[in-house]
Structure 1
Amino acid sequence: MPGTLTPKSVWSPTPILKAAESYRGKIFDIDSGRSVSSDQFQRLRQQLTQTLKQKGIAAGDRVLVTIANGPIFPIALTALLECEASPLLVHVMTPPAELARYAQRFGVKWLISSGGDEQAESVLERHGMIFAGDDWSLLLGRFPEPTSIPGPELRGVPLHPTSGSTGLPKIALRPGFPAMEEARHYTATMAICEDDCMMAIPPMSHAYGYGVTTMVPLLTGASIVTTAKFSVKQLARVLREFPVTVLPMVPAHIDILLFGGGIDFGRLRWLLTAGSMMPKRSAVQFRKKTGVTVCPLYGTTETGGISVATIADGQDVDGRVGPPMDGVEVRVHPPANADELGLEPGVGKLHVKSSSMMTGYLSDTGEVLTPWDEDGFFETGDLSKVVEDGVIHLRGRTGEMINVLGLKVVPCEVEEVIAAMPGVREVKVYAGQLKSKGEIVKAAVAVDDGVDEAALKAYCDEHLVYYKRPRDFAIVDKLPRNPAGKIQVKELP
């Protein structure tokens, strides 16, 4: 374990690059039927690093990365870090208009993408294809020169968009040390080693997939099976043909599997879910059907992984997410008005302190924000209680954030986009609930004549990544407000 860190070493990509240099696993891409050995991994990283430098990517440049799950994701990530560029990791299906907003807001110069979306070229000043070996091609493009680059020069610092607890999305700064600390926490808790094989179903660009299926394998040498196209049939084939021992999923996948055919989970050691609370009913039904216990994993982009439920914890899934991992401390602060809020005794806001904590938020004004208290604890925004055995029980969230299949949506960001549409007078975005208890994005919109639901949907398709798009629109004459002018969400359709 590293000793005291200097400010320079805290920001360094070296821990990630050292892990990548020693990686001896194998990466299987089942979507293309190709695989990458450890020797090929090193060779492709070196080749891509040279290409990126030749194309002009320099130390301190910020690069938007929209790359789907596959061997090319860790290859491109580590090649950018070798260039001392800072990759800003976003979903592969992020539409061009949203990419342009990121570029403008955070001073991004470059885009590297595997999405194959020709529309992305419309927001780039210049672009072209580059190659990693003979099998993988990537779009590399340059945005118009940013008018400003907010914040300090960041050399080789991975940048992760996060919903935060309030306001517009921020960028969590997660350099090499906290990234590898998170991987160490997972590795120690789940006893992961080079003999393990992880299946990457959650996006590797998302904090959950990034930590579990990118950083953990780099640290341990575990192999990875990747896919960007989840299906029950495909999962059954993978578990039959590959020695998968760790399977990260989201709760919605468990519901899908309940209605699927028989799958042999015999080699699995861990079936994880994260991103939202695992419904007890689904977990119990799944265990009865398959004999497999679902183990919820809990973490945030800011703190990294916080806890992983053990098999014993998984017998009682109802909000139970296991004890804090080694290197993680938690505190619960019940609010003074807990009785007024109807909270059960012991429930309060969860605060976390961890060696895997981000180094701060990069705001769009250029400030590096350090939102923790004087003792180093970060408020997660989650309501929880910690019982006598030290196990964390989640009890929901305190804010307006919407959880769409484990992907977080901040209403005010969606409102900002819709409000910019001509003919929209005012808009309120809020959460709706499905029968399965999952959340969807809804929007109540007051519009001028000529703007209808179809026009709103088309506009959102163009300007928002798929999970941020409202599923339901309600056209209203005006938004309901109280005498103080506050919008009354409970009165919305």
Structure 2
Amino acid sequence: MRAVLPEVLTDVLARHGDRVAVTDADGLLGYADLAVRARAAADRLARYDVRSEPPRVGLYATNSVEYVVAYLATLFAGAVPFLADSAFGPFELSRIAEDCGLDLLIHAPSADVRDIVSETLTDDGEFGYLTVSRVRRYETPRPQLLDDTEVCRFTSGSTGRPNCIEFSGTAVSAAAVNWVKGTCLTAEDRIACFAALSNGLAFNTSLLAAFLQGASLHLSHGLPTASRVVRLLESTAATRLVAFPALYDSIVRRAPEAGFATVRTAISSGAPLRDSVREEFTRLTGVPIHNYYGVAETGPLTYAADATGGGLGTPLPGVHLLAEEHGIRVRSESMGSRYLNAPGLFEQRLDGEGYYHTGDQGRLLDGVLHLTGRTSRMVNVGGRKIDPIEIADVLRTAPGVLDAVAFEAENQHGEPALAAVVAAEPGVTAQSLRAHCAAALPSFKVPGILRLVDRIPANSIGKPSVERLRRLLSTPDSH
């Protein structure tokens, strides 16, 4: 089947040749130079002997110009890029390598990839500071890719084993085209992106979408502190800021007095953004935060063009969204095809009309989506269904609590139990938290397992890490 993305990218790189395409702290590439670099790297990839057609290439690195070069090169080489979250640890990475049958891995030299690579391959600098390694062979049979799959991305599985979503080139292109239309992205936009390009927030809003219009994409290395954000915004005269809620919270706490003069739009997604943070951010900076709702499996779904109101906005072009009693169902032009490494699971979430059941609950008010909870994360304890979001919300109101996550776990007898991990200030105890919950909730909703920590472990998009939360329950409590 004829690939879609190489043709699209060839066209935009040629059409916007003289404009700045992508920058990071170490340099920049214009569109014409990006094309040259990507083609050279693609030629190098094509010379490596691999065992599959098309080749399967994992990208495991933080945002950089070189990451963008490697992504485009993989597509130009006729290979399929597998975009792994740089926050994945050795466990998740080894599962990806085995489950998906990777041939090569492009990674930072410092990445811990010892368990999955067999040799480091030589190059002539086509990939900059990144390293290309051959992935070792596993005895597990490799699942077959769909004929039209051009990109694979990951979403967290319930056990910490990432599910690999296959996307056609048509779906990836549609996500970018519809984002451009729905958000009025122009060639004059300069996007400061602090979300990992492996995640849907950045992948759908800040990569191909920017290139379609000839906009410029500005990336940051390292931990995205408030001061680093300000420096990047000032140095690039950015017009758009793309980040997760945790970063906006950090900016509000630092209360910067400058840095946002050119920014017209801030975009948030991936986790709930508190109204108080949104309002205070706009008060401090004069920049409205536009909420965006998307699901990894379906791409971008809604956008709040009116940042002054509540909710997550109206459906983007190409999106059909139904908010019903049993949850939100969506059908989009940017929909994934299936999970490569979890046969049948994706298909179980589709109905006869092709709508994907998101697991979210919500309602449409005057066409604007408002989320109210989840349907698929209910905890069943003793035959009673408990919404963990409700429990976490109650815990967050306790004195000294900074954040909380509730979920289902097993007690010492191997039975389902309600567990909670709570980030709290010194002096807070499990006993005081249980008493707080008991004053507001029925007894069966009081967590039977409580673990106190300094900070909730999270992945690169700011969401709690399921795998690390479960590990915490098996380690001694230091509080």
Tell me the TM-score normalized by structure 1.
0.74
The one-letter code sitting in structure 1 at the alignment partner of 2:200 is A
User: In the alignment, what sits opposite 1:211?
Assistant: 204
Query: Relative to structure 1, is the Cα distance of residues 350 and 53 closer, same or farther in structure 2, using a 3 angstrom cutoff?
Result: same
User: In the alignment, what sits opposite 1:292?
Assistant: 287
Query: Relative to structure 1, is the Cα distance of residues 284 and 121 closer, same or farther in structure 2, using a 3 angstrom cutoff?
Result: same
Contact 2:245 2:269 in 1 (8 A): yes
Q: How many residues end up aligned between the 2 structures?
A: 418
The one-letter code sitting in structure 1 at the alignment partner of 2:335 is M
Pairing partner for 1:382 from 355, 360, 363: 360
- The answer on 1:232 being equivalent to 2:226 is yes
- The answer on 1:76 being equivalent to 2:62 is no
Pairing partner for 2:261 from 255, 261, 266: 266
Query: Relative to structure 1, is the Cα distance of residues 244 and 380 closer, same or farther in structure 2, using a 3 angstrom cutoff?
Result: same
User: In the alignment, what sits opposite 1:281?
Assistant: 276
Within-5 A mapping of 1:65-464: 65-114=59-108, 116-117=110-111, 119-133=112-126, 135-152=128-145, 154=147, 157-163=150-156, 169-229=162-222, 230-260=224-254, 261-310=256-305, 312=306, 314-317=307-310, 320-335=311-326, 349-365=327-343, 369=347, 371-387=349-365, 389-400=366-377, 432=421, 434=423
CA distance in 1, matches of 2:149, 2:10: 13
CA distance in 2, matches of 1:90, 1:233: 27
Per-residue deviation, 1:322: 0.6
Report the 3-state secondary structure (helix = DSSP H, G, I; strand = E; otherwise coil) of the residue aligned with 1:384: strand
Report the 3-state secondary structure (helix = DSSP H, G, I; strand = E; otherwise coil) of the residue aligned with 1:272: strand
Contact 1:332 1:385 in 2 (8 A): yes
Per-residue deviation, 1:63: 2.0
Which structure 2 segments of 5+ residues have no match? 379-387, 393-404, 426-446, 454-463
Contact 1:93 1:115 in 2 (8 A): no
Contact 1:12 1:156 in 2 (8 A): no
CA distance in 2, matches of 1:44, 1:144: 30
Per-residue deviation, 1:251: 1.0
Contact 1:97 1:123 in 2 (8 A): no
Contact 1:443 1:470 in 2 (8 A): no
Tell me the TM-score normalized by structure 2.
0.76
Which structure 1 segments of 5+ residues have no match? 1-7, 336-348, 437-441, 446-452, 454-464, 478-492
Contact 1:27 1:226 in 2 (8 A): no
CA distance in 1, matches of 2:187, 2:96: 37
Query: Relative to structure 1, is the Cα distance of residues 66 and 257 closer, same or farther in structure 2, using a 3 angstrom cutoff?
Result: same
CA distance in 2, matches of 1:101, 1:397: 27
User: In the alignment, what sits opposite 1:473?
Assistant: 472
Per-residue deviation, 1:194: 1.6
Query: Relative to structure 1, is the Cα distance of residues 304 and 134 closer, same or farther in structure 2, using a 3 angstrom cutoff?
Result: closer
Per-residue deviation, 1:78: 1.9
CA distance in 2, matches of 1:134, 1:98: 24
Contact 1:250 1:274 in 2 (8 A): yes
CA distance in 2, matches of 1:211, 1:105: 25
Per-residue deviation, 1:213: 1.4
CA distance in 1, matches of 2:54, 2:344: 15
Per-residue deviation, 1:277: 1.7
Report the 3-state secondary structure (helix = DSSP H, G, I; strand = E; otherwise coil) of the residue aligned with 1:210: helix
Query: Relative to structure 1, is the Cα distance of residues 140 and 167 closer, same or farther in structure 2, using a 3 angstrom cutoff?
Result: closer
Per-residue deviation, 1:189: 1.6
CA distance in 1, matches of 2:345, 2:294: 24
CA distance in 2, matches of 1:426, 1:141: 43
Report the 3-state secondary structure (helix = DSSP H, G, I; strand = E; otherwise coil) of the residue aligned with 2:123: strand
Per-residue deviation, 1:321: 0.6
CA distance in 2, matches of 1:193, 1:159: 27
- The answer on 1:30 being equivalent to 2:34 is no
Query: Relative to structure 1, is the Cα distance of residues 263 and 97 closer, same or farther in structure 2, using a 3 angstrom cutoff?
Result: same
User: In the alignment, what sits opposite 1:3?
Assistant: none
CA distance in 1, matches of 2:13, 2:105: 25
Identity of aligned residues (%): 21
Query: Relative to structure 1, is the Cα distance of residues 50 and 289 closer, same or farther in structure 2, using a 3 angstrom cutoff?
Result: same
Query: Relative to structure 1, is the Cα distance of residues 294 and 263 closer, same or farther in structure 2, using a 3 angstrom cutoff?
Result: same
Report the 3-state secondary structure (helix = DSSP H, G, I; strand = E; otherwise coil) of the residue aligned with 1:174: strand
CA distance in 2, matches of 1:364, 1:164: 10
CA distance in 2, matches of 1:203, 1:467: 19
